């Protein structure tokens, strides 16, 4: 079976490993190209966009893809929308790997914001030391809020506008609790701005914030259309190895 994984997450990489060891599948893992040096994978990979839903549908047909797994980031709604539309046009089953969101626990001090711009404004007028746990595409939202000192952790160098008072840490997760605690203490962080990415790879910063009783401004997830929902790489594998139901085309 020819399978296309729309990747960029730890779950996509985990699924690639499962498929690599199974001779029933010929799988390709596709990256959008936002990370300059993605980690090596045990299956074929491609990098770059498809040219919207039409381009993705054409690729699916040309490559004789029989099933698509959307394992993109929770904050990448455009490719998920394209995947739903393209799979419907191509008549191919789609599963969407939906990583469960984090939920506040006792001791958490969360404030939610609908966008990065709203999160930047929510930091307040008084100068604060802010840890930005965001993608590099969001740094421009904080450039005009110049009174704060920012620390941002990214895989690649950012492009475009960025805050003037910025310490940039180029690191790739996962990150453990002790390391996150040291980081927050070392940089004397007053508040964290984070996306609700879910999963375990970057959750340690939330646990460290809870320990230090630091406020967290949590940017809520965008609504993404989905196919048949799976929660883990193992569930995606089970979906592939059984009769695949027609995709649910919610949100289209």
- For CA atoms 55, 221, 141, 188, the dihedral sign is negative
pLDDT in tens, 174-232: 889 999 999 999 999 999 999 999 988 899 999 999 999 999 999 999 999 999 999 99
Q: pLDDT value at position 173?
A: 76
Instruction: Provide the pLDDT confidence category of residue 156 given band limits of 50, 70 and 90.
Output: confident
Residue 14: which of 29, 2, 35, 4 has the closest Cα?
Answer: 29
215, 50 in Cβ contact below 8 A?
no
89-136 pLDDT, tens digit each: 999 999 999 999 999 999 999 999 999 999 999 999 999 999 999 888
C-alpha of 203 from chain center: 13
pLDDT number for residue 136 = 84
Query: What pLDDT score does 33 carry?
Result: 63
Q: In this prediction, what percent of the chain has a pLDDT beyond 70?
A: 94
Mean pLDDT of 74-82: 94
Predicted structure pTM score: 0.87
Residue 242 burial (C-beta neighbours within 10 Å; 0-12, 13-18, 19+): exposed
Inter-residue contact 77 to 53 (CB < 8 Å):
no
């Amino acid at each position: 079976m020819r399978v296309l994984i729309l990747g960029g997450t730890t779950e996509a990489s985990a699924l690639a490993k499962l498929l690599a060891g199974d001779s029933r599948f010929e799988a390709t893992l596709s990256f959008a190209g936002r990370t300059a040096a993605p980690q090596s994978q045990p299956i074929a990979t491609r990098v770059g966009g498809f040219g919207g839903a039409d381009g993705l549908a054409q690729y699916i047909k040309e490559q004789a893809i029989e099933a698509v797994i959307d394992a993109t980031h929770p904050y990448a709604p455009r490719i998920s929308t394209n995947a739903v539309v393209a799979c419907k046009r191509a008549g191919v089953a789609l599963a969407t790997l939906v990583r469960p969101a984090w939920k506040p626990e006792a001791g958490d001090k969360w404030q939610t914001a609908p966008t990065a711009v709203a999160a930047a404004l929510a930091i307040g007028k008084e100068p604060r030391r802010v840890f930005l746990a965001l993608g590099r595409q969001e740094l421009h939202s904080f450039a005009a809020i110049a009174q704060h000192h920012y620390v941002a952790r990214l895989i690649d160098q950012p492009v475009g506008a960025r805050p003037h008072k910025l310490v940039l840490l180029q690191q790739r997760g996962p990150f453990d609790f002790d390391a996150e605690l040291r980081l927050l203490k070392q940089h004397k962080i007053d508040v964290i701005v984070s996306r609700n990415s879910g999963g375990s790879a970057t959750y340690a910063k939330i646990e460290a914030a809870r320990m230090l009783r630091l406020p967290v401004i949590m940017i809520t997830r965008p609504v993404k259309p989905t196919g048949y929902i799976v929660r883990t790489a193992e569930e995606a594998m089970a979906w592939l190895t059984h009769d695949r139901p027609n995709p649910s085309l919610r949100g289209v």
